[in-house]
Amino acid sequence: MWLLRDGEVLAAAEMANSLVSRNKGLLGRSGYEGAFLIPHTSGALHSFGMRFSLDVAFLDRDLAVVDTVHLRPWHMTRPRRRCRTVLEAQSGAFERWRLRPGDRLELHDTR
């Protein structure tokens, strides 16, 4: 799957489609190239046990960016109003992608 903004591919994307993948997230990985999406969430998440810092975007039902934060290992975020999906990426990705609140994202299946 690809993550796009205005037709521009930002990154390869992976969706957490099961309870196990939602709970595990990016834990156990030493880094991550791409975008990891966790649907059906209010945005409350943690980085306990993470080996690297994250860029986190809170997306509404239309995949518009509501807010972004930098999340260091062993920290938590609070829920965000209107958040329906969380986008996680390795720290620095959002700067490279120039991702900002208000951006509307798209997902395209590679199948």
| Amino acid letter, residue 69 | V
What's the token pair of residue 55?
Answer: 């860029």
Look at residues 62, 68, 9 and name the one whose alpha carbon lies nearest to residue 39: 62
Tokens matching residue 6: 């205005």
- Over the stretch 7-17, which tens digit does the pLDDT of each residue have? 999 999 999 98
The 10s digit of each residue's pLDDT in 34-48 is 999 999 988 888 888
Q: Indicate the pTM of the whole model.
A: 0.90
Residue 49 has pLDDT above 80, yes or no: yes
The 10s digit of each residue's pLDDT in 78-102 is 999 999 999 999 999 999 999 999 9
pLDDT at position 32, please?
Answer: 85
